[in-house]
Chain A
Amino acid sequence: MAELQYREALNQALAEEMERDANVFLMGEEVARYNGAYKVSQGLLDRFGSARVVDAPISELGFAGLGVGAAMVGLRPVIEMMTWNFAILAMDQIVNNAAKLRHMSGGQLRCPIVFRGPGGAGGRLSSQHSQALEANYVHFPGLKVLAPSTPADAKGLLKSAIRDDNPVIFIEGELLYGLKREVPEGEHVVPIGKANVVRPGKDVTIVTWSRMLTAVVEPSAEALAQQGIDAEVIDLRSLKPLDEDAILESVTKTNRLVVVEEGWPWCGVGASIADIVQKKAFDELDAPVTRVTGLDINMNYAANLERATQPTVERVVAAVNEVLYRS
């Protein structure tokens, strides 16, 4: 199995799906002649031509709407947002059109579209460019939201997203593009709505997704193992639909849950997970569901403050000790 970067795995998924289905096309800022701001679309213009790899003007609302229209009439657009920070401009097309067309047409219209691009903090990009916005999208009925953390899942999930008949929000990790891990070649499809138990354990369940897995949770699990704590780590991969069964099964085993998310605490994805778990696994809980989130402030430019704003290994280790009543 080849080791690929996260961006290469995404490129492979795009190329394979465009090869497989002539209705698939890619549109976004700088995706064609510049080969993508993050080089995800490297070589695609040369391979598939300007009719299927389209440079869009700097108008997120405009080309998001173009994509929605194309999806309505039978194409399978992949709309690249240079980052999800810019996609805020496209919210009306995503929320009011893409998410609602099937419902408002009484099922006559489908909207098989993928909006994809990087999310989360970059690295000293300050507050306007350092946002983990997945909580915004899971809020809306009609959207599926995926946030893969590894190259293999990035490939497998993007293929599933392109083949799905519903609008999919595909959030890549801006700092994950260079992450290199093994990726299965060819037809590697990861089903939407299935979490991955990355590390089995018995003492505590840690649920996370996207960059937090490799950047914070995996090192935390190792630090905890040093303390004799056996953490089970679940990578959600798919935020909506959510693999409730995987979470509940794990919590039933460990009796305690810590959710680690890069985004802000208020109405975060972890808040909904806590809600589900307290409702469906109330009698299994030996400690309150505890969340480690980004701080409820705007991201600072200074490197030390940027680090302090995001979840850290120390905070995760402390939260786990708290739910284990060790301190």
Chain B
Amino acid sequence: MATAVELPALSPTMKEGKITKWLKKEGDKVSSGTAIAEVETDKSNLEIEAYDDGVLLKILVPEGSAAPVGSPIAWIGKAGEKVDESAAAKPAAAPAPKQEEKPAEPAKAAAPAAKPAEKPVPATNGRVRASPLAKRIAAENGVDLSSVAGSGPQGRIVKRDVEGAAAKPAAAKARAPVTITRGERIKPEALPISGMRKVISQRLTEVKPGVPHFYLTVELEMDQALKLREEAKAQDTKISVNDIVVKATAIAVRRFPRINQQMDGDKLLQLHNVDVGVAVAIEDGLITPVVRDADQKGLAEINAEVRELAERAKKKALKPEEYSGGSITVSNLGMYGIDDFIAVLNPPQAAILAVGAVTPKPVVRDGQIVIRNMMTVTLSGDHRVIDGAVGAEYLKELRALLEHPLRLLL
């Protein structure tokens, strides 16, 4: 049976892709994992791989043409096999949102769904089967049983199923700090949205459609940070002010996990890993590669990583997973001599820091006018998610970290 190759969503924001080059011709043998075409997305150029073994029977989208995500671009099957083109029309006509969620899985055209359901399904009459204990645990923890997959007979939801689901909201309720071992990725958890939060979100979106921004500005003394940079240089370790800012930004997020929340449709997500996006200007655009777990990385490591990411960003060679997600973004225009500016949020993140140049300025210390190296940071916040006071607390922590960078080690 011939299988349609559908255009996968290669980045979270990708709606369509242009086939820049077919790497295989019609009649060529392909196997699962073989790159068959190059696609230009809104962010990068990427290769599409075949998911089936067989022969490339027919190319549906010629080089230079664009196709929407989820639409068939080619057929793979046995040599000489006839392609039922009518079957191709169906997935193409269907709206794409489903495919966007599962980019890596091309739907099998007209494949009979004979495979038994992996997860036992709830009873057909819509009743959720759950053990009495599972129901009690669910009620105590505010877990919606209809969203839990049961592992008992006939899909019965039992203790172990509901405990997994309950652990997350319970942790959110307690606001227990999440500890992450290096390299561990913890799934974001959905938080219940309070009525007040909902109203704030609705009203602000009325006034400021889209993502309602608010802004908070602080001026920070960077003398100690500069000294740290000089000391590192003396040790033949190259670090930049921006690396220090990235690290401080991350540690402050770790300490204020409220900043690490995002609006996701009608849900609020609490992220656990602290990933910092670093805005990089590239030819006719801008991209924000992400330093994962920046709170756990050393300055030299951050320096090397940012540099490497920025280089590849300029070559448009970043993979989508390298520039998607993230807790917060650092946008630094200091090197362009900009003193202060306001950044537009990088959705779905709820905060971005606009970092200006470090400039010697007269400031008052102990009643005396003295010269200090000052840097202006403006936080833009998604007001649907966080409020001014939360942003202010966050900046207070950021100030403490940057003005006394010894704290970065504590």
A residues near B (Cβ < 8 Å) are 255, 282-287, 325
Contact = CB atoms under 8 A, between A and B. Distances in A.
A284 B134 CA distance: 9
Interface in B151-203: 151-153, 158-160
A287 B161 CA distance: 13
Interface in B115-172: 131-136, 151-153, 158-160
Nearest to A278: B132
Contacts of A282: 132
A285 B151 contact: no
A174 B134 CA distance: 43
A185 to B, nearest CB: 45
A284 B136 CA distance: 8
A193 to B, nearest CB: 27
A255 B133 contact: yes
Please report whether the interface of chain A is mostly helix, strand, loop or mixed according to DSSP: loop
6 contacts: A283-B132, A283-B136, A286-B158, A287-B131, A325-B153, A325-B158
Given A255-B159, A325-B158, A286 B134 contact: yes
Contacts of A284: 132-133, 136
B159 A286 contact: yes
A286 B162 CA distance: 11
Interface of B: 131-136, 151-153, 158-160
Contacts of B153: 325
A325 B132 contact: no
Contacts of B135: 283
A282 B133 CA distance: 7
B133 A283 contact: yes
B133 A286 contact: yes
A316 B50 CA distance: 51
Nearest to B135: A283
A283 B151 CA distance: 19
A285 B131 CA distance: 7
Nearest to B139: A283
Nearest 7 A/B pairs, CB to CB: A286-B133, A283-B136, A286-B159, A286-B131, A282-B132, A285-B132, A283-B132
B115 to A, nearest CB: 22
A291 to B, nearest CB: 17
Contacts of B151: 325
Contacts of A283: 132-133, 135-136
B128 to A, nearest CB: 15
A282 B136 CA distance: 10
Contacts of B134: 286
A151 to B, nearest CB: 38
Given A325-B151, A325-B152, A287 B136 contact: no
Contacts of A325: 151-153, 158, 160
A287 B136 CA distance: 13
Nearest to A288: B131
Contacts of A255: 133, 159
A278 to B, nearest CB: 9
Max chain A C-beta neighbours (<10 A), residue from B151, B153, B158: B158
Contacts of A285: 131-133
Nearest to A284: B133
Given A286-B133, A287-B131, A287-B152, 8 more contacts: A282-B132, A283-B133, A283-B136, A285-B132, A286-B131, A286-B159, A325-B151, A325-B153
B139 to A, nearest CB: 9
Contacts of A287: 131, 152, 158
Nearest to A327: B153
B366 to A, nearest CB: 64
A287 B159 CA distance: 9
A253 to B, nearest CB: 12
Contacts of B152: 287, 325
A283 B136 CA distance: 6
Nearest to A252: B133
B140 to A, nearest CB: 10
A57 to B, nearest CB: 55
B130 to A, nearest CB: 10
- Of the listed residues B132, B134, B135, the one surrounded by the most CB atoms of chain A closer than 10 A to its CB is B132
A255 B153 CA distance: 17
A286 B160 CA distance: 9
B33 to A, nearest CB: 36
Contacts of B131: 285-287
A325 B153 CA distance: 8
A283 B152 CA distance: 17
A47 B134 CA distance: 62
A285 B133 CA distance: 5
B280 to A, nearest CB: 51
Among A282, A283, A286, A325: residue with most chain B CB under 10 A: A286
A98 to B, nearest CB: 40
Contacts of A286: 131-134, 158-159
A196 B367 CA distance: 79
Nearest to A322: B153
Contacts of B136: 283-284
Counting chain B CB atoms within 10 Å of each CB, the highest count among A255, A285, A325 belongs to A325
Nearest to A281: B132
A291 B258 CA distance: 51
A202 B132 CA distance: 19
Nearest to B140: A283
A33 to B, nearest CB: 59
Nearest to B158: A286
A248 B151 CA distance: 25
B149 to A, nearest CB: 13
A232 to B, nearest CB: 16
A274 to B, nearest CB: 14
A197 B153 CA distance: 30
A195 B152 CA distance: 31
A325 B158 CA distance: 9
A284 B158 CA distance: 11
A287 B151 CA distance: 12
A325 B152 CA distance: 6
A287 B150 CA distance: 13
A270 B153 CA distance: 23
A219 to B, nearest CB: 27
B132 to A, nearest CB: 5
Contacts of B159: 255, 286
B297 to A, nearest CB: 39
